[in-house]
Amino acid sequence: MENSNLRTTLFVKKIAMFKEYTDAIRLCTSIPSSKKSILYTSLIYSRFSVFTDASWCNGKAGIAVILVNHEDNTWFYTSKCVSSPSALDAETQAILYGLSWASKLNWKDIVMFSDCQVAISAFAKNVCIPNWRTTHHSYAILDIVKSFSFCNFWPNIGPFTSQRAREEKARQARERIALRVLPSINCTEQLGTRTNGHHHNPRTTSKMPELPEVEAARRAIQENCLGKKIKKSVVADDSIVIDGVSASEFEAALLGKTIVAAHRKGKNLWLQLDSPPFPSFQFGMAGAIYIKGVAVTKYKRSAVKEDDQWPSKYSKVFVELDGGMEFSFTDKRRFAKVRLLKDPASVPPISELGPDALLEPMTDDELVASLSKKKKVAIKALLLTQSFISGIGNWIADEVLYQARIHPEQPAATLSRECCATLNKCIKEVIEKAVEVGADSSQFPSNWIFHSREKKPGEAFIDGNQIEFITSRGRTTAFVPELQKEIGNHAANKVSKQRKQSTRGKGNRDGNADNNVDEPEADEDNNAEATKGKKGRKPQGQRSKKETDGKPSKAGKSRKKKVLSNQKSKKKSK
């Protein structure tokens, strides 16, 4: 089976799963509050959702996962092919795959969606699926579930549809996904290909192209391709990557043109030809430039083997120059964007970028002024914002913050002038060093935290200090707590909040042990404050005074009776 067919199959599944997610949200928000299901409560009070699905036929299956981060309205999609003895086993593997990703991303409260009723019913009760072929997957799933603070299982199709409707929707999905193409998949080959090209360890963010990698590509083109005429061009018929222009129009626009210069801003590169329009490359997660016979820095997620066909099957734009020189822009994951523009620097996305971290460094005064305006934004989140400063990605942000001894969640506006000057210096030093060695990580200084980013939590150390991994704004973050400490009022407020929570938890445990409730009103106030903290929404079943017409609830009456009985018993004992 051709890769394009597999890609189409899994892309259709992605659309179907994401539609189920939006339908679930629409369904929950359209029904009266008194009838809102536990699904609604789960979606509202969890920060993350995981959608899984599988297509099975003749011992082989394609499994797909969508992970949704409700905090910043982002989502991530991944898929692969597996060997599977049954459709039930395939669905179970998909659930395990989705939970594994959620665990790697350090998500703690999730809602898991799957259209496999047998699996969902079993895992919701914390038991294994009653099928011996899936037992080992079931145990693995239940083990992972224990690591979450909240994990609710729910069917994809929704809680209000009949069994007949479920069966009909499942039948339509099978037809839509075209299961008949799956038997021709070579699962072993696909597993190897998909793992190398389409999956990544969220902690190993150096696999993505950032400013040093894109600059290395620009310099390679500048050194080898300037002044040469384009004799031939082959552009992939891929409307996801090739944006806003057909492949034939793109090829015609390049043919016969001479490459005059290569430019870069942030993680974007464009070629200046002797006349417009100019090709522009937004590298995305796995975009890469390869020049035949020339060593260009490779990063793991884009790596194309040297013994593979040339140009690569992942090539999106292939160019042959006079003199025999050839280069290709490849993208395995199809998150890159290639455009044909008259003036790339004057239109989005390049026109919306902030100053380039290498070419347009801020002065200390400019950085202090810019940070002072961002009162509630964590410093790492701000560094990753390309409209603030362009070119800094996840690993560079972690590196400069470690070198500057700044906690990644420290509010940007609370940094002193001295800290800002140190941060500015570290940004310059880290980026210049990475560019100097052509983004070759083996030549990075040994005292960089970069070299320990791929290690497991608890096993990562630098200079004897342990590295911890947290999730900051949906991105895995490596830092050293011993050296990068939160400071100022922000740190004091955080410590105070943690103490209150621990004291409150201890008080609740003591109260349960004594079975005495001396101050029920205080507990209700605490619950009300916790509820207001979640965007003003109330949990299912909680009613306001207006809804109860001023009458106390049954739960409130029972609590008051307990208090009175306890008080009477104390008086008698005295």
Q: Is residue 570 part of a domain?
A: no
Structural domain count, the chain: 3
Q: Are 65 and 94 in contact (CB under 8 A)?
A: yes
Same domain, residue pair 41 and 132: yes
Same domain, residue pair 220 and 150: no
Q: Is residue 164 part of a domain?
A: no
Query: Where do the DSSP E strands lie in 88-224?
Result: 109-114, 150-155
Question: In the predicted model, is pLDDT for residue 254 greater than 90?
Answer: yes
Same domain, residue pair 347 and 369: no
Q: Is residue 279 part of a domain?
A: yes
The mean pLDDT of 509-515, rounded to a whole number, is: 46
Domain limit, last residue, from 329, 352, 375: 352
Same domain, residue pair 423 and 453: yes
Q: Who has greater pLDDT, 497 or 77?
A: 77
Q: Is residue 560 part of a domain?
A: no
87-104 and 117-124 helices, crossing angle to 10°: 50
Q: Which range scores top for mean pLDDT: 20-24, 272-276, 374-378?
A: 272-276
Categorize the per-residue pLDDT at 559 as very low, low, confident or very high, splitting at 50, 70 and 90.
low
Question: In the predicted model, is pLDDT for residue 491 greater than 70?
Answer: no
Retrieve residue 544's tokens. Answer: 């306001």
**Percent of the chain's residues with pLDDT above 90:** 37
Predicted local distance difference test score (pLDDT) of residue 161: 47
Q: Give the C-alpha separation, 523 to 504, whole Å.
A: 10
Q: How many CA atoms lie within 13 A of 192 on its CB side?
A: 5
Same domain, residue pair 253 and 139: no
Same domain, residue pair 368 and 347: no
Name residues whose C-beta falls within 8 Å of residue 344's C-beta, 6 or more positions apart in sequence.
Answer: 263, 268, 270, 278, 280, 350
Q: Give the C-alpha separation, 377 to 369, whole Å.
A: 14
Q: Give the C-alpha separation, 432 to 62, whole Å.
A: 43
**pLDDT per residue as tens digits for the range 316-330:** 999 999 988 999 999
Q: Who has greater pLDDT, 79 or 159?
A: 79
Retrieve residue 553's tokens. Answer: 């609830």
Report the CATH number that the domain containing residue 288 is assigned in CATH. 3.20.190.10
Q: Are 319 and 328 in contact (CB under 8 A)?
A: yes
Q: Who has greater pLDDT, 508 or 141?
A: 141
Predicted local distance difference test score (pLDDT) of residue 455: 84
**pLDDT per residue as tens digits for the range 449-473:** 998 888 888 888 998 899 999 987 7
Categorize the per-residue pLDDT at 188 as very low, low, confident or very high, splitting at 50, 70 and 90.
very low
Annotate 539-571 with DSSP letters as a single string: -TT---TTTTTTPPPHHHHHHHHHHHHHHHHHH
Q: Who has greater pLDDT, 129 or 206?
A: 129
38-45 and 3-30 helices, crossing angle to 10°: 110
Q: Tell me how many degrees the CA angle 347-262-236 measures, rounded to the nearest 5.
A: 75
Question: In the predicted model, is pLDDT for residue 220 greater than 70?
Answer: yes
- Marked catalytic residue, from 20, 91, 210, 215: 210
The mean pLDDT of 512-536, rounded to a whole number, is: 39
Question: In the predicted model, is pLDDT for residue 522 greater than 50?
Answer: no
Predicted local distance difference test score (pLDDT) of residue 39: 47
Question: In the predicted model, is pLDDT for residue 184 greater than 60?
Answer: no
Phi, psi of 465 (to 5 degrees): -100, 140
Question: In the predicted model, is pLDDT for residue 80 greater than 50?
Answer: yes
Indicate the average pLDDT of the chain.
Answer: 75
Annotate 378-412 with DSSP letters as a single string: BHHHHHT-TTTSBS--HHHHHHHHHHHT--TTSBG
Same domain, residue pair 219 and 290: yes
Retrieve residue 295's tokens. Answer: 């060593």
Q: Are 281 and 335 in contact (CB under 8 A)?
A: no
Q: Who has greater pLDDT, 573 or 377?
A: 377
Q: Is residue 528 part of a domain?
A: no
The mean pLDDT of 72-96, rounded to a whole number, is: 81
Predicted local distance difference test score (pLDDT) of residue 500: 61
**pLDDT per residue as tens digits for the range 417-453:** 999 999 999 999 999 999 998 888 888 998 999 988 8
Torsion of CA 358, 364, 369, 375, to 10 degrees: 80
Report the CATH number that the domain containing residue 20 is assigned in CATH. 3.30.420.10
Predicted local distance difference test score (pLDDT) of residue 440: 85
Helix (H) or strand (E) holding 259: strand 259-265
Q: What is the residue type of 546?
A: K
Annotate 334-349 with DSSP letters as a single string: S--EEEEES-GGGSTT
Q: Who has greater pLDDT, 432 or 104?
A: 432
CA 367 to chain CA mean position, Å: 28
Same domain, residue pair 74 and 17: yes
Same domain, residue pair 124 and 233: no
- Marked catalytic residue, from 155, 209, 277, 279: 209
Q: Is residue 257 part of a domain?
A: yes
Annotated catalytic residue 155: no
Q: Give the C-alpha separation, 519 to 521, whole Å.
A: 6
Same domain, residue pair 221 and 342: yes
Q: Who has greater pLDDT, 226 or 569?
A: 226
Residue with tokens 């979450």, as numbered in its chain: 148
Q: Are 211 and 389 in contact (CB under 8 A)?
A: no
Annotate 233-245 with DSSP letters as a single string: EEE---TTTB-SS
Which stretch of 27-36, 284-293, 308-317 has the lowest confidence by average pLDDT?
27-36
Q: Who has greater pLDDT, 168 or 220?
A: 220
Q: Rounded to a whole number, what is the distance in angstroms from the first to the last CA of the chain?
A: 85
Annotated catalytic residue 209: yes
- Marked catalytic residue, from 13, 267, 316, 337: 267
Q: Give the C-alpha separation, 103 to 287, whole Å.
A: 27
Same domain, residue pair 216 and 343: yes
Retrieve residue 58's tokens. Answer: 């003749």
Which DSSP symbol is given to 66? Answer: E
Q: Are 243 and 236 in contact (CB under 8 A)?
A: no
Q: Using CA of residue 201, residue 203, residue 206, residue 209, what is the dihedral sign?
A: positive
Predicted local distance difference test score (pLDDT) of residue 205: 35
Domain span at residue 244 reads: 211-352
Report the CATH number that the domain containing residue 456 is assigned in CATH. 1.10.8.50
Q: Which range scores top for mean pLDDT: 154-168, 205-219, 251-265?
A: 251-265
Q: Give the C-alpha separation, 470 to 377, whole Å.
A: 17
Residues constituting the chain = 574
Predicted local distance difference test score (pLDDT) of residue 119: 85
Q: Who has greater pLDDT, 245 or 285?
A: 245
Q: Is residue 186 part of a domain?
A: no
Categorize the per-residue pLDDT at 174 as very low, low, confident or very high, splitting at 50, 70 and 90.
very low
pTM over 0.85: no
Predicted local distance difference test score (pLDDT) of residue 411: 93
Question: In the predicted model, is pLDDT for residue 514 greater than 70?
Answer: no
496-to-406, 407, 499, 524 alpha-carbon distances in Å? 21, 18, 5, 21
Domain limit, last residue, from 479, 502, 530: 479
Q: Give the C-alpha separation, 330 to 290, whole Å.
A: 8
The mean pLDDT of 503-510, rounded to a whole number, is: 54
Retrieve residue 466's tokens. Answer: 């342990």
Q: Which range scores top for mean pLDDT: 81-90, 137-146, 370-379, 417-426?
A: 417-426
Same domain, residue pair 407 and 307: no
The mean pLDDT of 3-20, rounded to a whole number, is: 49
A 10 A CB-CB count for 131 gives 16
Which DSSP symbol is given to 362? Answer: P
Q: Is residue 108 part of a domain?
A: yes
Helix (H) or strand (E) holding 288: strand 287-291
Domain limit, last residue, from 352, 379, 407: 352
Question: In the predicted model, is pLDDT for residue 545 greater than 70?
Answer: no
Predicted local distance difference test score (pLDDT) of residue 157: 46
